[in-house]
Amino acid sequence: MSAAASSPLKTLQTVFGYERFRGLQAEVIEQVLNGGDALVLMPTGGGKSLCYQVPALLRPGTGVVVSPLIALMEDQVGALLQLGVKAAFLNSSLDFQAQREVESRFLAGGLDLLYVAPERLLTERFLNLLDRVRIALFAIDEAHCVSQWGHDFRADYWQLSLLHQRFPTVPRIALTATADERTRGEIIERLGLDEARVFCSGFDRSNIRYAIGLKSNPRQQLLEFIRRDHEGDAGIVYCLSRKKVEETAGWLCSKGLKALPYHAGLSAEIRQHNQRRFLLEEGLIVVATVAFGMGIDKPNVRFVAHLDLPKSLEAYYQETGRAGRDGLPADAWMVYGLQDVITLRSMVESSDADELHKRVERHKLDAMLGFCELTSCRRQTLLQYFGDTLERPCGNCDNCLNPVQTWDATEAARKALSCVYRSGQRFGAHYVIDLLLGKTSERVRGLGHDRLSTFGIGRELDDKQWLSVFRQLVTRGFLVVDWEAHGALRLSPASRPLLKGEQTLFLRKDEETGKTAASARDTRRSAIRFSDPRDENLFQALRGLRRQLADEQSVPPYVILHDAVLMEMVQCRPETHLQLARIPGIGERKLELYGDAFLELIREHAGQRGGGAGAERSTAEESLALFRLGLGVEQIAARRELKPSTVYTHLAQAVARGALDALEVTGLSADEAARIGSVWRSLPQDRPGAIKPLFEALEGRYDYGILRCLLVSWGALSN
């Protein structure tokens, strides 16, 4: 055991450098320390790894971690070594001699944690090796790989129940960030975790902003999004095909961005090289198929973009979850179109899977399509899919920031369905749209379709509007795509009530993705950029030092320290080792290795601020700085030993001078703030800035601090 500590909290503080556990971490660790099994469902970036790393350091023996990917093992072991933890991995990247050396250390009890792939662990040779050592625990990472319905299915995971049979007294902990009810049940059944306690800390990634729009010129839309919001940031772009990956990566490079392709068609050497570059270098973009990502632990990925629809909400959640693992603001951006719907439905129907599997895949795809066409809060729907809840709209997705308008499309839908039927249900959307618009061509005249009663009856809408109607009719199940007839549209049974006038239909009005994303981003930049150029200069200098230290040790920069740690250094300006140690993420080992170098650099920049390295900021500025680091009002109040109302007053000052947006502070959606505004305007205006009358009119549902921020933003209250 490398941790000299005797308690989980002491280990957390001295080894990992954090003051306290988050969420359910302490409960999970206690369960495993006491020898019990656990199934842990936590969002990416929620601290799953600590749930097995801490008990592995405290229980006698070595913790054995089952991990599906080489990159994931190497990344985590590298980070643990930086903390002074005795960790190693066994995989095919090691030569024979290196493998034997790791095994010798394992047998001698010289390891705290050993990472191994499931296929190696299940060999008789390795199981015999396990018989000869003391095992602290088994951790099964990415446990959703056990699901035969999942997009990351690994057959070897099915056999891991053998661990309980062979080592019944060793506690097991299975962990995943992606599991709906069906998958959770399958994990419990396949891994023999019937007696395990299930810990679910929720699936909300509140720092990720979701935006989904329609394809027009997808590569150009992507470029505009990156240049507007993420110039110089690391990101991942997902495409469905290898060809599209290559073309998109090349096109981005031609536009002056650093982009690399990644897909299964590339050689193992090229894939490994590109992945390594992505981990080591700043500001790189990887364009990839779904083959990329599960083993990536890079915390400062600022955006994940999809140029094609994922096959399921599970895939979407997991892929977008690779953004913002450091807790700082990040974007999940996607564009899609009717062809995406047709392609994915065709892939499901033409697969060799049995009917049960196809039915499950259809259900997953329908959920994904419904999510795209939502008119309400995306986060609420996404969390609901995984059995989680969010009481209020999030205020941090495109639909909350720009409420979607709907229109009565009943008559338009009836025209579209009728035209599909009268033209023989043998044509795709674009041809049927031509008929609705009354466009003649040789083909139309040759088939006699210019004489149909539906020819030219849809001139009140243009091409784009009709394409939106057809896309939503397919998504909502009124039309089905015949993949054997080259994408021809056919009426489904669900269309009959609509055609007979027994049903009305409201569809969403489509808005340009760029417009949505731009307004969604208006309040974002302040969260990850410094308003004072001297702070920005210090931050970049700290990143440069981190880069130098990382290069010296051949590890990714974030293994040295996360961006969030550097940002807090800028805000706190520590002068001593003791002050530096108070920053979350700096444990004893990192303080010993890097403390002097970072303190010296901070001292060099002290004169630029005109008040010394530890120059005292105003108390309001300190609260603002912590808020920009991602801390909530309650967290700031606890850290600074202030009342939450005082912190709200500080942040209201920032709202008053335009440094923060009121919605950003309050967490309210635009609609909810508008409703509060309506109540405020209905009150007597003899004292327009008085908070108490508004508080009482709203029956105390909103904190005084929230109302203060809103009133300040409306100019009704000077702060």
Asked if residue 640 and residue 591 are part of one domain, the reply reads: no
Higher pLDDT residue, 197 or 487? Answer: 197
CATH number at residue 24: 3.40.50.300
* Number of independent structural domains in the chain: 5
- Do 27 and 145 sit in the same domain of this protein? yes
**Residue range of the domain that includes 341:** 208-401
523 occurs within a structural domain: no
**Residues 245, 345: one domain?**
yes
| Mean pLDDT of the region 298-314 | 92
Q: How confident is the model at residue 524 (pLDDT cuts 50, 70, 90)?
A: very low
* Listed range (29-38, 519-528, 659-668) with the worst mean pLDDT: 519-528
Domain membership flag for residue 552: yes
Residue 115 pLDDT: 96
Give the range among 71-80, 583-592, 610-619, 671-680 with minimum mean pLDDT: 610-619
Please report whether residue 248 resides in a domain.
Answer: yes
The helices-and-strands tally (H runs, E runs) of the chain is 36, 17
Residue pair 711/694 in contact by the 8 Å Cβ criterion: yes
Which pLDDT does position 613 carry in this prediction? 36
pLDDT in tens, 640-653: 777 888 889 889 88
223 and 140 in a common domain: no
Higher pLDDT, 586 or 510: 586
- Nearest partner of 398 among 214, 232, 244, judged by Cα: 214
Query: What per-residue confidence (pLDDT) applies to 352?
Result: 80
Alpha-carbon distances, residue 193 vs 187, 326, 507 (angstroms):
8, 31, 45
**Whether residue 84 sits in one domain with residue 187:** yes
CATH code for the domain of 489: 1.10.10.10
Q: Are 106 and 133 in contact (CB under 8 A)?
A: yes
Cβ atoms of 710 and 699 closer than 8 Å = no
Q: Among 401, 434, 462, which residue terminates a domain?
A: 401
Q: How confident is the model at residue 686 (pLDDT cuts 50, 70, 90)?
A: low
Helix axes 70-82, 588-604, angle to 10 degrees: 70
Q: For residue 234, what is the enclosing H or E element?
A: strand 234-238
Are both 12 and 57 inside the same structural domain? yes
- Whether the pLDDT of residue 534 is over 70: the answer is yes
Q: 141 CB contacts (<8 Å, ≥6 apart)?
A: 48, 65, 66, 67, 68, 72, 175
Same domain, 71 and 187: yes
* Whether residue 251 is found in the same domain as residue 150: no
The winner for highest mean pLDDT among 3-7, 162-166, 609-613 is: 162-166
How many whole angstroms separate alpha carbon 226 and alpha carbon 211? 13
pLDDT of residue 56: 97
Give 618's DSSP letter.
P
Q: Are residues 420 and 464 in the same domain?
A: yes
- pTM exceeding 0.95: no
Q: pLDDT tier at 495 (50, 70, 90 boundaries)?
A: very high
| 560 part of a folded domain | yes
At which of 344, 371, 401 does a domain end? 401
Cβ 624 vs Cβ 634: under 8 Å: no
Q: Is residue 88 assigned to a domain?
A: yes
Residue 2 within a domain: no
Q: Do 429 and 396 reside in the same domain of the chain?
A: no
Query: Which two structure tokens, joined as six digits, stand for 623?
Result: 């609260």
pLDDT number for residue 546 = 92
- pLDDT-derived band at 167 (thresholds 50, 70, 90) equals very high
213 and 155 in a single domain? The answer is no
> Is 719 part of any domain?
no
In a domain, 515, yes or no: no
Q: Are residues 379 and 234 in the same domain?
A: yes
Q: Which of 401, 417, 450 is the last residue of a domain?
A: 401
